[in-house]
Amino acid sequence: MAGNIEYTTTGKPHPYHIVRPNIWPIIGAGAAGFFATMMVMYFPGYREALQAGGTDLPMPWGPMLGVASIMIVMFFWWKDVIYESVVEKAHTKIAEIGFRFGMTLFIASEVMFFVAFFWAFFSAALFPVEAIGFVWPPANIHTIPAFELPFMMTLILLLSGCTVTWAHHAILENDNETFVKALGLTVLLGVAFLGFQIYEYAHAHFGFTDGIFPSTFFMATGFHGFHVFVGAVFLFVCYKRAKKGHFTADKHFGFEAAAWYWHFVDVVWLFLFIAIYWWGSEIGMDHTSLHPAIEGGAAAATH
């Protein structure tokens, strides 16, 4: 390390990266556990139970402190990883193979994370129950038109996928100036998407607790928005590193991993737009014909 070739116990040089003892994994686990605990204590039922028992927690400062602790760990851990790569030159081509497998498995786990939300949405949408009148979307929900603001957000995110690909081609040609420019545009587009999503949430005609449609809608799109935020931070770190000349045509996996993640975010949004905004909000399902009593009652109520 520190510019020297690493050696095994046999005394022969090897291309693998033997990581030094590091405090950040255990501190990161503690920060994540603290955040999860604060979130549980912030949930309405638990919070009301604590307040009924005479305990008044400083909310929402608990979850905010949890997020801050995670961000601090990320900053210092990434700083160490960048030092290993740029200064120590420890991230060899052999080591990068492990990084690629790790990033691939991480994205696969994220895919399954979103599968759970889609499963919940389609379970409710394909088999609407009596409580919502056997129709989807529920009749009392004023949905968000798919081909208005959501469609513009889709175009923004797809354009950001183009700019991050432009950045990738630029670094492969060692054109660092274009690389920096394309990365900056990608980050700006990601921030613009988040701004429009916040605007959409602020003007939605339903709240999180207004039924199965709002809860599945906000969980799926909200967690996607969180992933856009994480991806934008990831790309912003790459942008700052690119301005310092950390990436070359032969060595740029840090950016490549961010680009993989960003394309994953793009693809998930396309599924969200088609399934939740378009089909789930405008087409949906109507099972009232399978329940004559419901259909007859609705017909009588109109006369």
Task: Summarize pLDDT for 156-194 with one digit per residue, the tens.
Answer: 999 999 999 999 999 999 999 999 999 999 999 999 999
CB atoms within 10 A of CB 5: 10
- Are 202 and 273 in contact by the 8 Å Cβ rule? The answer is no
d(CA 232, CA 78): 15
Instruction: Indicate left, alpha or beta for 109 from its phi (over 0: left) and psi (-120 to 50: alpha).
Output: alpha
pTM of this structure: 0.83
Mean pLDDT over the full length of the chain? 86
Q: Which of 244, 247, 243 is nearest to 256 (CA)?
A: 247
Q: What are the domain boundaries of the chain?
A: 1-91, 93-301
Residue 130 is classified by DSSP as G
The confidence score (pLDDT) of residue 298 equals 44
The predicted structure's pLDDT at residue 139: 87
Q: What is the pLDDT of residue 91?
A: 86
User: What DSSP state is assigned to residue 139?
Assistant: T
Q: Given this structure, which CATH class describes domain 1-91?
A: mainly alpha
The position carrying tokens 């399934």 is 275
Q: What is the pLDDT of residue 63?
A: 84
Token pair, residue 65, equals 């402190």
Share of residues in the chain with pLDDT > 70 (%): 84
- Assigned CATH topology for domain 93-301: Four Helix Bundle (Hemerythrin (Met), subunit A) (1.20.120)
**Selection from 85, 83, 78, 80 nearest residue 251 by Cα:** 85
DSSP for 278-297 reads IIIIII-EE-GGG-HHHHHH
